[in-house]
């Protein structure tokens, strides 16, 4: 994979995250989590549904603060969300419905980078081409398919030229074919931009295929079970891919907190293959 310079970009130390619901005390969702993400890598977080992986990536995005512990990005603890950590959501409604696809990106560039309109349009068109939605530039989001919406959202995030691309199950609501297509393209995009990618998924295939490292989490409160190096296992047909997938599968199922969770994960896994 050829990462020459190993330099941490995200560091979490002893992070505890709570879920707050109104005035209640809050339940611990993520418990004592420590890990480091290197600049330029593709780091995947995987775990059973509802285990807190979305909460974790939101915390890296700055949308919520840890109860305890520290999240350091680029050497400084994060205090708020910002365009240096561009987020791609699972939700198809993440584009502004009242702007065309192109205008969504132009607006994002104008407010984050204070670009002149002409320069913003040029840059937006470049990234729309990169993710292959240039033909939808003048359309409003509601006219696009789910896959096209996610491409456009990816283009907007990339156009911000962020340090980190945070993706919370971005392909989770897509059909299998579109999903595989976008996984391939995300790899190409990473090749050409070298952006650090943090991706949350519940698909083992997606995790092993896309990730350099796959962090496996237990069910709630989430703890790290293992961080698996998957950088040598990106060819779907290779023995390494099969071995690592099997390993992840056994981690996810064995460590389920109760039988029900285990069965649910098993069902999910067989659905994925």
Contact map string, positions 35 to 64, toward another protein, x by CB under 8 A: --------------------------xxx-
Stretch of residues binding another protein (CB under 8 A), selected from 12-20, 88-96, 199-207, 236-244: 88-96
Distance between CA 232 and CA 216 in Å, rounded? 17
Q: How far is the CB of 58 from another protein (least distance, A)?
A: 8
Q: Is the Cβ of residue 116 or residue 143 nearer to another protein in the bound state?
A: 143
Q: At what angle do helices 176-193 and 146-159 cross, to 10 degrees?
A: 10
Q: With binding defined as CB under 8 A, does residue 89 bind another protein? A: yes
Q: Are 47 and 248 in contact (CB under 8 A)?
A: no
Distance between CA 72 and CA 69 in Å, rounded? 10
Q: With binding defined as CB under 8 A, does residue 19 bind another protein? A: no
Q: How far is CA 13 from the centre of its chain?
A: 20
Q: Is the Cβ of residue 19 or residue 140 nearer to another protein in the bound state?
A: 140
DSSP 8-state assignment for residue 106: H
Q: How far is the CB of 40 from another protein (least distance, A)?
A: 21
Q: With binding defined as CB under 8 A, does residue 97 bind another protein? A: yes
Angle at 252 between CA 259 and CA 151, to 5 degrees: 125
Distance between CA 272 and CA 171 in Å, rounded? 13
Q: Using CB under 8 A as the criterion, which residues of the chain lie in contact with another protein when the complex forms?
A: 61-63, 80-83, 85-87, 89, 91, 93-94, 96-98, 107-108, 111-112, 140-143
């Amino acid at each position: 994979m050829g990462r020459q310079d190993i330099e941490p970009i995200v560091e979490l130390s002893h992070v505890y995250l709570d879920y707050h619901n109104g005035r209640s005390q809050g339940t611990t969702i993520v418990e004592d989590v420590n890990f480091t993400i290197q600049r330029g890598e593709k780091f995947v977080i995987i775990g059973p549904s509802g285990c807190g992986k979305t909460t974790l990536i939101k915390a890296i995005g700055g949308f919520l603060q840890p109860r305890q512990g520290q999240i350091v990005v680029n050497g400084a603890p994060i205090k708020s969300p910002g365009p240096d950590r561009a987020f791609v959501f699972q939700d198809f409604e993440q584009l502004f419905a009242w702007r065309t696809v192109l205008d969504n990106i132009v607006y994002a560039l104008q407010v984050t980078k204070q670009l002149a309109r002409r320069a913003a349009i040029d840059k937006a068109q470049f990234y729309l081409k990169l993710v292959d939605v240039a033909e939808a530039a003048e359309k409003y989001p509601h006219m696009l398919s789910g896959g096209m919406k996610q491409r456009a959202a990816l283009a907007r995030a990339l156009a911000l030229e962020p340090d980190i691309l945070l993706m919370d199950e971005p392909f989770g609501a897509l059909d299998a074919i579109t999903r595989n297509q976008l996984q391939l393209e995300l790899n190409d995009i990473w090749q050409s931009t070298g952006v650090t990618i943090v991706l949350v998924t519940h698909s083992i295939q997606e995790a092993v295929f896309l990730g350099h490292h796959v962090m496996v989490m237990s069910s709630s409160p989430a703890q790290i079970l293992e961080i698996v190096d998957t950088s040598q296992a990106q060819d779907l047909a290779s023995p390494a891919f099969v071995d690592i997938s099997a390993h992840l599968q056994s981690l996810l199922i064995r460590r389920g907190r109760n039988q029900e969770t285990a069965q649910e994960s098993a069902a999910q896994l067989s659905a994925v293959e």
